């Protein structure tokens, strides 16, 4: 009887240990090919979360920042928020007869996007201001949600919220499981992103930092509202990113993820801190499954940051070689 009981206990103990071993060997990044990039991510997380390690970082200081366009979701053939702005121009054109004689709106209404963007950043800013202001913050959030419910990328025909990178979704999940707090730090509009980032990325609105326009408080029929104005408040790009991080978070990140020169200062700010640091650049090298672009791209130019990554030893992800898949399985 004692022998039988001992055998049963031994068998149970073996199963428990085997189960633990299996759990410990589950791949946290299954959409990544084995290589330097994947290995570096895992090694960094283990290093800063292992108690007793000289590199241990308390959970309160485990801050990671992610660019959005080109890092978490696609940005070609133009920033995805701009597709939203173009659709808003069409929807609002009947209320603005003056647009028929004013660029860049004349070109947009004719379907000539290239002509409309010939005016560069000034033209883009004018379009965004004209289409993103004049309503309350709640009204704007609902407009964004309604648009995302039906809008699709013209090239892939996938909903824009499915133009996200599966390998990066896994990084976000992996960091979350290890008590990291991840923030989006994007040049895109903060109020454009906040209505959907929690559902798509698991990142709540209070952890989204972006460019913004000014708002004012009003009472409308005794109801308090925030009204969006046609006036720029803050551009969260390039040198603005470390400033935005400092203003919104109050802690320097220990890990930063980007893909372009617009993220260079955020990567420098993160890597320049003391203790364990991690900086990663997503390099768009896959012209078959996505788009291949870097130094001369009109969107998401990666030039100076690529050179600095090589000099400083930052991790550069070769999308073609490092990622098994690009997007999540299409939803039906």
Q: pLDDT, tens digit, for every residue of 86-98?
A: 999 999 999 999 9
Residue 13 pLDDT:
42
Q: Span 25-41, mean pLDDT?
A: 96
Of 325 and 23, the structure prediction assigns the larger pLDDT to 325
User: Taking 60 as the threshold, does the pLDDT of residue 10 lie above it?
Assistant: no
Of 119 and 61, the structure prediction assigns the larger pLDDT to 61
What is the pTM for the complete model shown?
A: 0.91
* Average of per-residue pLDDT values in the chain: 92
Residue 29 pLDDT:
98
The rounded distance, in Å, linking the Cα atoms of 110 and 93 is 12
Residue 16 pLDDT:
43
Q: For residue 24, what pLDDT band results from cuts at 50, 70 and 90?
A: low
Q: Span 143-149, mean pLDDT?
A: 97
Residue 122 pLDDT:
77
Q: For residue 328, what pLDDT band results from cuts at 50, 70 and 90?
A: very high
Query: Are 208 and 190 a contacting pair, CB within 8 Å?
Result: yes
User: Taking 90 as the threshold, does the pLDDT of residue 114 lie above it?
Assistant: no
Query: Are 45 and 178 a contacting pair, CB within 8 Å?
Result: yes
Q: Span 44-73, mean pLDDT?
A: 98
Q: For residue 17, what pLDDT band results from cuts at 50, 70 and 90?
A: very low
C-alpha to C-alpha distances, 209 to 99, 202, 212, 217, 331, nearest whole angstrom: 32, 15, 9, 21, 28
User: Taking 60 as the threshold, does the pLDDT of residue 21 lie above it?
Assistant: no
Nearest C-alpha neighbor of 86 from the set 100, 103, 101, 105: 105
Tokens 């080109």, located at residue: 70
Residue 115 pLDDT:
86
Rg (CA), the chain: 23
Residue 111 pLDDT:
84
* Helix 80-92 / helix 137-150 crossing angle, nearest 10 deg: 110
Q: For residue 121, what pLDDT band results from cuts at 50, 70 and 90?
A: confident
User: Taking 50 as the threshold, does the pLDDT of residue 9 lie above it?
Assistant: no
Q: Span 259-287, mean pLDDT?
A: 98
Residue 192: CB atoms within 10 A of its CB come to: 27
Q: Span 254-282, mean pLDDT?
A: 98
Q: For residue 11, what pLDDT band results from cuts at 50, 70 and 90?
A: very low
User: Taking 90 as the threshold, does the pLDDT of residue 332 lie above it?
Assistant: no
Stated length of the chain: 332
3-class DSSP assignment, residue 211? strand
User: Taking 70 as the threshold, does the pLDDT of residue 222 lie above it?
Assistant: yes
Residue 321 pLDDT:
98
Where exactly are the structural domains of the chain? 30-75+159-322
What are the phi and psi torsion angles at 53 (to 5°)? -75, 140
Q: Is the backbone peptide bond immediately before 192 cis, with ω within 30 degrees of 0?
A: no
Q: For residue 243, what pLDDT band results from cuts at 50, 70 and 90?
A: very high
User: Could you tell me which residues come within 8 angstroms of residue 157 by beta carbon, excluding any fewer than 6 positions away?
Assistant: none
244 Ramachandran zone, left/alpha/beta (phi>0; psi -120 to 50): alpha
Nearest C-alpha neighbor of 300 from the set 120, 75, 65: 75
Q: Residue 227 pairs with which residues in a beta bridge?
A: 136, 216
Residue 176: CB atoms within 10 A of its CB come to: 15
Give me the architecture of the 30-75+159-322 domain, per CATH: 3-Layer(aba) Sandwich (3.40)
Q: For residue 116, what pLDDT band results from cuts at 50, 70 and 90?
A: confident
Burial status of residue 263 (CB atoms within 10 A of its CB: 0-12, 13-18, 19 or more): buried
Tokens 């055998």, located at residue: 7
């Amino acid at each position: 009887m004692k022998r039988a009981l001992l055998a049963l206990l031994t068998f149970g103990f073996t199963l428990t240990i085997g189960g633990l071993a299996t759990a410990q060997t589950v791949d946290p990044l299954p959409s990544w090919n084995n290589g330097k990039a994947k290995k570096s991510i895992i090694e960094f997380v283990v290093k800063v979360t292992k108690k007793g390690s000289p590199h241990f970082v308390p959970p309160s200081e485990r801050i990671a920042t992610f660019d959005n366009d080109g890092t978490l979701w696609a940005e070609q053939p133009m920033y995805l928020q701009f597709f939203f702005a173009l659709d808003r121009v069409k929807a609002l054109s009947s209320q603005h007869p003056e647009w028929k004689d004013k660029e860049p709106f004349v070109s947009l209404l004719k379907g000539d996007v290239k002509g409309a963007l010939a005016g560069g950043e000034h033209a883009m800013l004018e379009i965004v201001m004209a289409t993103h202001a004049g309503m309350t913050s709640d009204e704007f959030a609902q407009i964004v949600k309604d648009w995302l419910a039906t809008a699709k990328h013209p090239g892939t025909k996938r909903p824009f919220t499915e133009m996200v990178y599966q390998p990066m979704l896994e990084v976000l999940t992996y960091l979350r499981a290890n008590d990291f707090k991840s923030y989006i730090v994007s040049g895109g509009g903060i109020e454009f992103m906040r209505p959907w980032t929690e559902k798509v990325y698991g990142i709540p609105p209070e952890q989204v930092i972006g460019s913004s326009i000014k708002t004012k408080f009003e009472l409308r029929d005794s109801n308090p509202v925030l009204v969006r104005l046609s006036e720029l408040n803050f551009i969260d790009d390039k040198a603005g990113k470390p400033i935005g991080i400092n203003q919104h978070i109050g802690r320097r990140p220990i890990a930063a993820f980007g893909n372009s020169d617009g993220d260079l200062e955020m990567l420098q700010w993160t890597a320049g801190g003391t203790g364990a640091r991690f900086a990663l650049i997503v390099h768009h090298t896959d012209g078959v499954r996505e788009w291949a672009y870097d130094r001369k791209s009109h969107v998401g130019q990666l030039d100076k940051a690529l050179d600095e990554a090589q000099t400083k030893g930052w991790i550069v992800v070769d999308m073609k070689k490092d990622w098994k898949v690009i997007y999540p399985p299409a939803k039906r």
